[in-house]
Structure 1
Amino acid sequence: MERRAFIMVEGHRGSGPLFMQGAERMGLHPITLSADPARFDYLSVVGAEAIRVDTNNLDALIRECSRLHSKYGIAGITGFAGDDESIYATVGKLCRYFDLPGPNPASVDQCRDKFVQRQLLAEAGVPMPAYRLALDAKDVERSAAEIGLPVIIKPAEGSGSLGVRLCRNSDELEEHTTYLLSGKHIWRSSPRILVEEFAQGPHYLAAMMGNEVIGFGVAEYGPPPHFVFRELTFPAQLTDDQRELAADISLRCLRALGLGWGPTNIELRWTRRGPVVIEVNPRLAGAPEPQLIELAYGVHLISEYIKLISGQEWKLRKSRSYTAVARTLMPERDGTLDWIDGDWRAAAVSGVAEVRILVESKRPIVRRGDHGDRLGYVIAAAPTLADTKGILQHAVGLIKWSITPFSTLEK
C-alpha cells in the first residue's frame, strides 16, 4: 500500500529537510509543491518528490492536491513562508478544502497584516510600542515626528526582516523611506509602511504550540540599523516572575488574534516599562529555532507538529534541561565568496550539534540587512550557558572564509 502523502507548499533551506526527515520517520511520503523546485537544493540531494505548480494559484493547488489525494491519500498539508507569508493562509484554505487539521486562514491573514495585528492587540490591551501607518513619504515624516526618533521603519507585510530598519535621524529616515517607495523594495500589494517606536531592551522569543508556551529564547542582533540575529539562546535566563508575565502577555496575543491552533512565535522586547510585543507570527519559526528547542528541552517540535498536522496525538513533554545556542556566520564585506572551509572541523568539536553552511563558493555576497545575509550557523548545547558559549566560540573560530571585494575585481 502506498504511503500517505505529506504535502509541503514551497520549501525552506533550513527547516525543509527537517520536515522531510520527520515525515519519512513517521512513514509518510513527503511531497513539495513549488513554483520553482530548483530553488531548494536539498530536494535533489535527498531525492524527494517535488512538483512544479503555481503556488499563488489556489485553484491550481487544489487540482494538484486532489490528484495526489486520489493517488496516495493526504495525511496533512503545511507550508513555508520565505518572504511571502501568504503561503500560510493558502495552506489554511487547502486544509479546510480537504477537511484536514490546519490554521485558520482569516487569523493568519490578520497577523500577516502587521497594522491590523497592531490594532487588534491594542484593542485587547496588549503592551506594544507606539505605531502609525504611513502611505507616503509625508506620512512617514509626520508619523516619525509624532512618535519621536529613533523609529523603526518597515513594510506592513513581510517577513525575514526584509525592509526593516532603525532610523536614528532625519537623513536615515529619508533614505530608507526613499528605498521602500522607489521600487527597490518588492511589494506584493500597495505600499504601506509601519512607523514604530524603537523599543529598547533585550529581545525575547516565545515559542508556543496550541495554547502552551514551550519556552523563551533570547536573541542578540548585529549592529544597527539592521535586525539580523547573530546569536539565539534557549532557554532565556528569566526569573519566575518575568517568565510568568511574558507567558501571560503571549497568551493574550493568541486570544486577541484568534490563534491557538498549531505553532506561534512571538517577539517581545523587555523595556523599562516591561515587556512589549514586537510581532506575532502564526507559524513555526525557521531553523535554527526548532533545533535549539529540541536540544534545550528534549521536545522534537517538528515531529510533534507533523503529528498535529496529520491528526495524530501530540505532546510537548520536556525531557532535557540544557542551554542551546546558535551563532550566525556573517560576512564582513560585500564581494565574491572565494571559499569557506572548516565546517567539518567545527562539527567535530564535542558539544557542537550542527554546523550548516548556507552558501557556495564563487557566489556574490551582497549584504541587504536581512536573513539572506547569513553564510551559515553553528549550534552547540551543554548543561550551562558558560559551557555552551565556550564550545561555540571554539567551533566558530575554526571556520574561515575569504571574500574578494567587488571593487578589487573591477580594477
Structure 2
Amino acid sequence: MKLLALEASQNATYYLSRYQQIVGLGAELYVLNGIGTDDFWPAGRYRRAGGKHVDDLIEAARAWHAEEQFEGVLTFSESAVIAVAAVAEALGLPGIGVEAAVRSRNKLLMREAHRRLGVPIPGFRYVADVDAALAAAQEFGYPVILKPTLGAASNYVFRVDDDAQMRERYGQALTGLGLMTWYAMEADGVDLGPHGLLVESFLDGHEHLIEAVVWDDEVFLGSIVDRITVEGDTFEDDVHHSPTELTPEQVAQVHAVVAAGTRAQGLRRSVMHAEVRFHHGRPHLLEIAARPGGGGLDIMARLSADHDPIRAMMDIAGGQRPDVHHFQPTEVHTAAMCLLSGGGTIESVGIPPEVAEHEGVFYLKITAKPGDVIRRPPDGNNVLGGIGVADASLDDALRTATDLAGKIEVRMVGDR
C-alpha cells in the first residue's frame, strides 16, 4: 500500500515515530509538509510544498500523485485533519469529506451537530465577549468550562468558579487564541469555522478516552482509557490508566453515545479519538476527533485491549476495512502520564539509564528540546513529553511511572 502523510506545518518530529510504525506495518509512506525541515523523511519520499495554503498543498499532492499513484492520504495531526480531507477530495482518494472534517475539528460546529441529533453533551454557548461569557455562566451555574473552538491538548481550557475568575480567565483565553500552536499550524485558505471561545456547563463525573473506528456506520470501541488526574482549574490531561474500570453496562452506554456522535459529525469510515465524561451517572460526549489519540494512547490500546489504532488508520486511508473488534480488555495494565515542568526556556532534559532501560517502560518520548519555551497555564499547556509503564496491576504501573518520571532531570535557563 502506497500512502501519503501530510502536515500543513510540520510539528517538529512529533509524528515521526508514528510514520515509522506505518512503514513497519508494510506500507510505502511518502510525506508532504507544507512547511517543514530538511531531511525529515528519506529523500525521494519527502517533499515540501513551500507554503501552507491549502491550494499549494493540493497542487503539490496532485503532482506527486500523478507520479506515484497513492492509495490514500492521512494525518496524525489535529491541525491537518481538514487539509487532508481537502487533499483526498481533490485527488479522488478515500477520505471523510471536508464538511465532516470541519465538524470534527471545530468544537462549536461539533456541539451544534451533536445537539441536532440529541447526543448527550454539556450545555454550551459561543460567547463574543466577557459579558456574554458571564451571562452563560449564570445560566448554567458555576462551575463552568471556558475553552477555544479550535484548540487542542487542553490549551487555554479553564474551569471557572465565579464571576471574578471568569473575567480573569476570559482575558487569558482571548489572548491565547492568537498564540495557540495548534491553530497556527492549520492550512491557510480553509474555512475552519468560528475561531473564538465557548462556555460549557460542567460535567461532574469520571472521564474516559476512547480509540474507536467507524466503518460503514458501524462503530467499534477498540480501547477505553480512564483519566485519573486530580483536577484543578486547568486540564493537563496528564495521568491515564487502561484497561477501563467501567462495567459492561457502562461500556454499552458509552458505545451508544459515541455512535450517536459519530453519526452527527457525518463520519462513516474513519479512525476516531473520542472523549466521554459521566454526569449524574450518564455518559456525555466531550468530543470526537477524526484521528488517533496522541501520546502513547496507541500503545496502551495494543497492550490493554489488543487494538491497533495505527494499523486501523493505515487500512482506512487506503480504502480497506480494518480488522477490528468490539472492546475486549486484556490482562495487561498500563499507566501513562505527561511529563510536566515549570515554565521557562529549556536548557537540558536528562534521562537516566534506569529510566530509559526500565523493562516496564513501553513509551518514553521527550518532545521538548534545548531552547524551547515551555508555557504553563494560564499562558499555555506545553509538556516535556510522556512516559508509560505496563505492569500486572494499576497500582504497580502507576507507582512505577510516577517514580521514573521523578528521575528525569530538567534544567531551565537561569537555574542554579
TM range (shorter): 0.7 to 0.9
Task: Determine helix, strand or coil for the equivalent of 2:93.
Answer: coil
C-alpha separation between the residues in 1 aligned to 2:18 and 2:283? 32
CA drift at 1:257:
2.0
Amino acid corresponding to residue 327 of structure 1 in structure 2: M
Task: Determine helix, strand or coil for the equivalent of 2:274.
Answer: strand
* Structure 2 unaligned residues grouped into runs of 5+: 184-191
Amino acid corresponding to residue 293 of structure 1 in structure 2: A
Q: What is residue 387 of structure 1 aligned with on the other side?
A: 396
Q: What is residue 96 of structure 1 aligned with on the other side?
A: 89
Q: What is residue 260 of structure 1 aligned with on the other side?
A: 268
Task: Determine helix, strand or coil for the equivalent of 1:402.
Answer: strand
1:229 aligns with 2:237: yes
Q: What is residue 194 of structure 1 aligned with on the other side?
A: 198
Give the TM-score normalised by the residue count of structure 2: 0.86
Cα distance change of structure 1 residues 313 and 18 upon mapping to structure 2, 3 Å threshold: farther
Q: How does 1:362-401 map to 2 (within 5 A)?
A: 362-368=371-377, 372-401=381-410
CA drift at 1:237:
0.7
Amino acid corresponding to residue 367 of structure 1 in structure 2: R
Indicate if the aligned counterparts of 1:5 and 1:30 stay in contact, CA closer than 8 A: yes
1:142 aligns with 2:135: yes
CA drift at 1:153:
1.0
Deviates more, 1:26-35 or 1:94-103: 26-35
C-alpha separation between the residues in 2 aligned to 1:230 and 1:112? 22
C-alpha separation between the residues in 2 aligned to 1:12 and 1:404? 23
* Structure 1 unaligned residues grouped into runs of 5+: none
Amino acid corresponding to residue 15 of structure 2 in structure 1: G
Of 60, 65, 71, the residue aligned with 2:67 is 71
Indicate if the aligned counterparts of 1:340 and 1:399 stay in contact, CA closer than 8 A: yes
Of 101, 105, 108, the residue aligned with 2:98 is 105
Could you report, residue by residue, the CA deviation over 1:302-339 in whole angstroms, capped at 9, with x for unpaired residues? 123112212334212569541222111100x2233333
Of 341, 344, 347, the residue aligned with 1:335 is 344
Cα distance change of structure 1 residues 295 and 273 upon mapping to structure 2, 3 Å threshold: closer
Task: Determine helix, strand or coil for the equivalent of 1:236.
Answer: coil
Cα distance change of structure 1 residues 96 and 189 upon mapping to structure 2, 3 Å threshold: closer
Task: Determine helix, strand or coil for the equivalent of 1:22.
Answer: helix
Amino acid corresponding to residue 278 of structure 1 in structure 2: L
C-alpha separation between the residues in 1 aligned to 2:302 and 2:30? 25
Indicate if the aligned counterparts of 1:269 and 1:275 stay in contact, CA closer than 8 A: yes
Indicate if the aligned counterparts of 1:264 and 1:282 stay in contact, CA closer than 8 A: yes
Q: What is residue 18 of structure 1 aligned with on the other side?
A: 17
Q: Once superposed, what is the RMSD of the aligned Cα atoms?
A: 2.8
Task: Determine helix, strand or coil for the equivalent of 1:224.
Answer: coil
Q: How does 1:9-408 map to 2 (within 5 A)?
A: 9-10=7-8, 11-12=10-11, 16-38=15-37, 44=40, 49-53=45-49, 56-82=52-78, 84=79, 87-181=80-174, 185-186=178-179, 191-210=195-214, 211-221=219-229, 223-316=231-324, 320-331=330-341, 333-368=342-377, 372-403=381-412
C-alpha separation between the residues in 1 aligned to 2:324 and 2:141? 43
Q: What is residue 6 of structure 1 aligned with on the other side?
A: 4
Cα distance change of structure 1 residues 268 and 189 upon mapping to structure 2, 3 Å threshold: closer
C-alpha separation between the residues in 2 aligned to 1:25 and 1:402? 35
C-alpha separation between the residues in 2 aligned to 1:375 and 1:222? 19
C-alpha separation between the residues in 2 aligned to 1:134 and 1:173? 12
Cα distance change of structure 1 residues 206 and 9 upon mapping to structure 2, 3 Å threshold: same
Amino acid corresponding to residue 30 of structure 1 in structure 2: L
Indicate if the aligned counterparts of 2:75 and 2:291 stay in contact, CA closer than 8 A: no
CA drift at 1:14:
7.1
Cα distance change of structure 1 residues 180 and 350 upon mapping to structure 2, 3 Å threshold: closer
CA drift at 1:372:
4.8
* Identity in percent: 20
Structure number with greater CO (CA < 8 Å, separation at least 6) is 2
CA drift at 1:173:
0.6
Indicate if the aligned counterparts of 2:389 and 2:401 stay in contact, CA closer than 8 A: yes
Task: Determine helix, strand or coil for the equivalent of 2:204.
Answer: coil
C-alpha separation between the residues in 2 aligned to 1:288 and 1:20? 14
CA drift at 1:22:
2.9
Task: Determine helix, strand or coil for the equivalent of 1:94.
Answer: helix
Cα distance change of structure 1 residues 61 and 35 upon mapping to structure 2, 3 Å threshold: closer
Amino acid corresponding to residue 287 of structure 1 in structure 2: G
Amino acid corresponding to residue 60 of structure 1 in structure 2: D
Could you report, residue by residue, the CA deviation over 1:350-405 in whole angstroms, capped at 9, with x for unpaired residues? 21112111112354433245885211211111232233223323422332223356
CA drift at 1:71:
2.1
Could you report, residue by residue, the CA deviation over 1:194-247 in whole angstroms, capped at 9, with x for unpaired residues? 111121221111221112111211123465221111112222111111111111
C-alpha separation between the residues in 1 aligned to 2:378 and 2:296? 19
Cα distance change of structure 1 residues 354 and 269 upon mapping to structure 2, 3 Å threshold: same
